[in-house]
Chains A and B, each alone.
Chain A
């Protein structure tokens, strides 16, 4: 069992090339997604606060 996992992770000797390629994609895209979501939520919150302050006219 452990051996099977080990040989899978070894990727036929290409582990040092395969895993970093996936890791870079994961980190870059995941980071971008989290950053975009964070900015989106902040902009929504500040717009709602602003609209509340301005009252029901708008």
Chain B
């Protein structure tokens, strides 16, 4: 089944159909989610109105972790199965994941100041999420740091896979170490320990963030495929434009690394 959808041409057709729906659904869910989070949900009996930061902070944190997991799976697929879309998917997901991680860190800091009395502590949860943010940035830098895009993709994939170690550390850091951060109250064994009036807005915002991620991922993957196709066309056209030359520049061996990913 993955084989069927991992075909670039089929992906372009399928995503062209889904993309507008995803985009409008994102905007709709965001509007509902923001209304629930900022107006309809009750203030917390201890935290007061500051609890509303949760509806940004927690979905952003979920996405930060999930996007990294997805990026690592795509990277693994790229290394093992060499699917043409796997590298593109991983590279397209990275900046979106970094954005969600950044929002998680900033909103957490803004929440920590009134509730804990500090913007930042170097405890396990906060530090491991900061490491996640640097993993995203390192991946992006590494992928773009090679002249040969194929080598950059490979190095990035290895980094993404190694970084997976960080995910369980983040998830269980609140159970393994003493921390200011509260333990999980939604994604835990047994029933959530959060009131329904707060759980619903939280889940709506999370769904909106997920849809936003899906929309942006499709847009970025389509952009990458467009650019690769344009590059392939340019390189193929070059020798034909000068029929007299015996050794066309773009068809020489030095051009092959750039051609390979485009034609793969």
Q: B-contacting residues of A (Cβ < 8 Å)?
A: 11-14, 17-18, 20-22, 24-25, 28-29, 32-33, 36-37, 39-40, 43-44, 46-47, 50-51, 54, 58
Contact = CB atoms under 8 A, between A and B. Distances in A.
Contact of A24 (B103, B219, B227): B103
Contact of B56 (A13, A21, A46, A58): A21
Contact of B230 (A12, A18, A43): A43
The B interface, classified by DSSP as helix, strand, loop or mixed, is helix
Interface stretch (B108-116, B139-147, B153-161): B108-116
B149 to A, nearest CB: 16
Contact of A36 (B53, B107, B219, B226): B219
Contacts of B57: 21
15 contacts: A11-B50, A12-B43, A13-B49, A14-B49, A17-B53, A17-B110, A18-B50, A21-B53, A21-B107, A24-B106, A25-B60, A32-B96, A36-B220, A43-B222, A54-B237
B222 A40 contact: yes
Nearest to B44: A12
B237 A25 contact: no
Query: Could you say which interface size class chain B belongs to?
Result: 35 or more
Contact of A46 (B96, B222, B230): B230
B82 interface: no
B230 A29 contact: no
Contacts of B96: 32
Contact of A18 (B53, B215, B222, B227): B53
A11 B48 CA distance: 8
B99 interface: yes
Contacts of B79: none
Q: Closest 9 CB pairs between A and B?
A: A43-B226, A12-B49, A14-B50, A11-B49, A21-B107, A12-B48, A40-B223, A21-B53, A21-B110
A58 B237 CA distance: 11
Contacts, number: 87
B233 interface: yes
Interface in B109-138: 110-111, 113-114
A20 B226 contact: no
A32 B95 contact: yes
A29 B212 contact: yes
Given A14-B49, A18-B53, A36-B223, A28 B95 contact: no
Interface in B189-207: none
A44 to B, nearest CB: 6
Interface string B28-44: 00000000001000010
